[in-house]
Amino acid sequence: MKSLLRIEKIAVEYATEGGRLRALDGATLTVAAGETVGIVGESGSGKSTLALTIGRVLPAYARRVAGDILFDEQSVFAHSDSELRAFRRDELGFIFQNPVSALDPTMRVKYQLAHILDLKSSDPAIMSHLERVGLKDVERVANRFPHELSGGMAQRVVIALAIARGPRLLIADEPTSSLDSTIRDQILELLFSLPAQTGATLLLFTHDLRSVAKYCDRVAVMYGGDVIENGLAEAVFSRPLHPYADALLKAAPGAEAIGGKIEAIPGRPPILRERSERCPFAPRCTWVVDLCRKQRPASEIIAGRLVSCHRAEERATAAPAQLVKGANNAS
């Protein structure tokens, strides 16, 4: 498949009172047209910064210090102001985690859709866009202000707005984190039905590993501002090769045995001030060796996926018993 999005060693830093913080540290990812890709990792791994960087909607105190992002082989950083507006309006659809705050609180729903579609608010097409996302009584919803909607209704409106102009890339950043479990499943079913209908590519940035396993073609695991494992979701979830990906899966709710406890990852994610010259997971890793503390691993294709780990090949050939936490720890 032809690549629609190429993220090439992108590095982004934030200016803070305590100095520079590096949120992205060489993240690399290629996404084909029509793919559904889940991007997972702990808070602080760089997921949200990566989502914002794709659309160049970072805050003023953030800056790109290295790398590039190409959409349809064109750098998003080379766009003029008018080209960037057109890119965001016509090619991208953003779906954020708090649907009410993503909507204009001063405008009724129908006026927000009319504005995006360049239509009059009385145009019947407005109602068809609301029906498309499974809303009932669309006349009533269209005449409501965002604060008058439930969380699930507001998120459906946000999705309607995001797909109204037929974008080729949908970016969903924790789109169900503010919703209850029943509504969450409905929204995810809706969200993942869209690529099949429209051919759009979908990037889901989330903590919800179960949803990625259920819905996504591929998964990219982020840590320390980089993508450290990237492959088919089924392969990564069944046998993760990076120790962090393995630890992340074991720490996910539902992974514990009956009567057992979740295996929390010891330590904390790194706070980077500059490019990491070693493996950023080394201080927390049970598979760490001296090389991990001295040299950052390159990304290699192992067992059909990209992995950044000095011991990934060893893990790929290890017996299941050897993959038990701490079994292969070396100093």
Instruction: Rounding to the nearest 10 degrees, give the CA dihedral for residues 311, 312, 317, 319.
Output: 70
61 lies in a domain?
yes
146 lies in a domain?
no
Q: What is the pLDDT of residue 327?
A: 52
110 lies in a domain?
no
Query: What confidence tens digit (pLDDT) does each residue in 2-24 have?
Result: 799 999 999 999 999 989 999 99
Query: What mean pLDDT is reported for the chain?
Result: 91
Query: How many structural domains are present in the chain?
Result: 1
Q: How far apart are CA 18 and CA 10, in angstroms?
A: 23
Summarize the confidence of residues 58-78 as an average pLDDT: 96
Q: How far apart are CA 195 and CA 24, in angstroms?
A: 28
18 lies in a domain?
yes
Q: How far apart are CA 40 and CA 44, in angstroms?
A: 11
190 lies in a domain?
yes
Query: What confidence tens digit (pLDDT) does each residue in 189-247 have?
Result: 999 998 888 889 999 999 999 999 999 999 999 999 999 999 999 999 999 999 999 99
- For the chain, give the percent of residues with pLDDT over 90: 76
Query: Of 31, 79, 26, 25, nearest to 55 (Cα)?
Result: 79
Instruction: Tell me the sheet residues that pair with 63.
Output: 13
Is the pLDDT assigned to residue 331 strictly greater than 90? no
Summarize the confidence of residues 273-287 as an average pLDDT: 95
**Edge-to-edge strand ranges of the sheet holding 74-75:** 19-32, 3-16, 62-71, 74-75
331 lies in a domain?
no
22 lies in a domain?
yes
List the domain range (segments joined by +) for residue 81.
3-91+167-244
CA-to-CA separations, 59 to 15, 52, 174, in angstroms, rounded: 10, 9, 19
How many CB atoms sit inside 10 A of residue 325's CB?
Answer: 13
Query: What confidence tens digit (pLDDT) does each residue in 120-179 have?
Result: 988 999 999 999 999 989 999 999 999 999 989 999 999 999 999 999 999 999 988 878
> 171: helix, coil or strand?
strand
CATH number of 234's domain: 3.40.50.300
- List, as one string, the DSSP characters of 27-80: EEEEEETT-EEEEE--TTSSHHHHHHHHTT---TTEEEEEEEEEETTEEGGG--
7 lies in a domain?
yes
Q: What is the pLDDT of residue 7?
A: 98
